[in-house]
A and B are shown apart, each in its own frame.
Chain A
């Protein structure tokens, strides 16, 4: 109940400041075009052949970057006086955090739609049909949302919004590039392959590619869902703990 009100509050804030949508609208388009046309020829022998690789890659990168925004948002909010009032209200302490993250899932949704549409316009035509595209979209959003709890914890533990932002950016860059998002794992040196295989983002992208290739929920994709649930179950209580400590 309170979470819904808090989500409404964060939505209002976002709507009053449309700049907040810049990163989820412009970034995926830019990256999709740049990476597609720059590396398509080198990596896959052509843009069309590269699209099945890069669309899930950019999609997950965008999820990471949109999800990482939550941490800085929360830090900024905490530093303003209004959080004092939230804390002095008789409501559950998870509500302000959950409200923020639910409102942020709108950003995730927009980011997903932009990424997939850009891919489509560049000629990406998944054979499995629209239903499965929606399914991978939802899987990506849920994963992004689960990850945003980790970034929320980061935001609560670090001192300034600037520090949260740069830490989030670095995490996002490392996680998205040290994976199979843009290049086949085989092409990497052995040590780098180990790193990429340890990176959870690799598994999410693999799961999405498998769904798009086979048109069915694979083991990988179910594993991703389970891990996402575990991440939320672990990091949401940690975030509330950090919030209380603040």
Chain B
């Protein structure tokens, strides 16, 4: 094992009856990075995470957290991470303050330390005004914030986040991202699962794309995008009669397949510099073009290219 790996997952496998939900997955998460497990619904992300967080027993393979086996040294491994599950894992019937107090105590803090940490976290997560209200009256965003606050009681160096922003409105989502970035800045390692590509793109240093229980691709968001190919050029030909000659011109300039929808053409560029000669050629042929855009490949493209069908 390498000293600077926060998590080492090797040959992890889980079967539910006949179905192999997690199929021989291996990857390492380095200290201080945000590692994203990305995949469609039912791909096996949450199952993988639950095994890593000792909530589910693996059928084969092992997980080491900071070098400690999660089965043989379960209690020690558990003391090293915080977990925020997909469904708010806080008590609905009691208040935010009571939740924080109870979980602080369960994490081994003394009564006084627990009280102090509770106050700190309530302030950090802007919950102090609703601290004593029952959670039933909390919005989804507040509940998620409390949930994350509870995971951070012990200031763990490793944090598991299972779909941290599912069901949140855009504003709360951005706040959540900011909170996660802040944690990373303070030196935490974060492992998150998500089905949102922009979230993975925004937050993750490295990603594993999971589909049908297998890792189909691993790398930085930039690497994954590069795999799909270069930037995509899109434009509309001004005159319908000129579309055919526009296609001919474009074919001469770029070897890639041209897609045509009415007067709209799109093609993948190998290099952005090809754009200059394309525009020059169109100018010479007096073909007017409109609504031109050059798009970097998105993680969506990578995702679509790498995952197959419905789960």
Contact = CB atoms under 8 A, between A and B. Distances in A.
A87 B93 contact: no
Given A9-B102, A84-B55, A89 B107 contact: yes
A81 B90 CA distance: 7
A159 interface: no
Size class of the A contact interface (CB-based, 8 Å): 20 to 34
B171 to A, nearest CB: 24
Nearest to A13: B93
A186 interface: no
Contacts of B106: 2, 5-6, 86, 89, 91, 95
B78 A16 contact: no
A85 B94 contact: no
Interface of A is mostly: helix
Given A84-B55, A84-B85, A88-B78, A5 B102 contact: yes
Contact of B89 (A2, A13, A84, A91): A84
Contacts of A13: 91, 93-94
Contact of B90 (A82, A87, A90, A95): A82
Given A12-B98, A84-B83, A90-B75, A5 B90 contact: no
A85 B94 CA distance: 16
Interface string B96-124: 00100011011110000000000000000
Nearest to B81: A88
B102 A88 contact: no
A187 interface: no
B55 A80 contact: no
A77 to B, nearest CB: 9
A85 B50 CA distance: 11
A177 interface: no
B301 to A, nearest CB: 34
A17 interface: yes
Nearest to A89: B106
A13 B88 CA distance: 17
Nearest to A20: B93
A13 B94 CA distance: 6
Nearest to B153: A89
B172 interface: no
Contacts of A89: 78, 103, 106-107
B55 A16 contact: no
Interface centre among B53, B78, B91 (most CB of A within 10 A): B91
B27 interface: no
Given A87-B55, A89-B78, A90-B79, A80 B102 contact: no
Interface in A1-50: 2, 5-6, 8-9, 12-13, 16-17
Interface in A68-110: 80-91, 95
A32 to B, nearest CB: 30
Contacts of B98: 9, 12
A54 B83 CA distance: 52
Interface centre among A2, A13, A81 (most CB of B within 10 A): A81
Contacts of B93: 12-13, 16-17
Contacts of B151: 85
A87 B54 contact: yes
B94 A9 contact: yes
Contact of B83 (A8, A80, A88, A95): A88
Interface in A88-135: 88-91, 95
A98 to B, nearest CB: 13
A117 B102 CA distance: 35
B55 A81 contact: no
B78 to A, nearest CB: 5
B85 A81 contact: yes
A17 B93 CA distance: 8
Interface in B33-53: 50, 53
A85 B150 contact: yes
Interface of A: 2, 5-6, 8-9, 12-13, 16-17, 80-91, 95
19 contacts: A5-B105, A9-B102, A16-B94, A81-B85, A81-B87, A81-B90, A82-B90, A84-B50, A84-B85, A84-B89, A85-B90, A86-B106, A87-B54, A87-B55, A88-B55, A90-B76, A90-B79, A90-B107, A90-B108
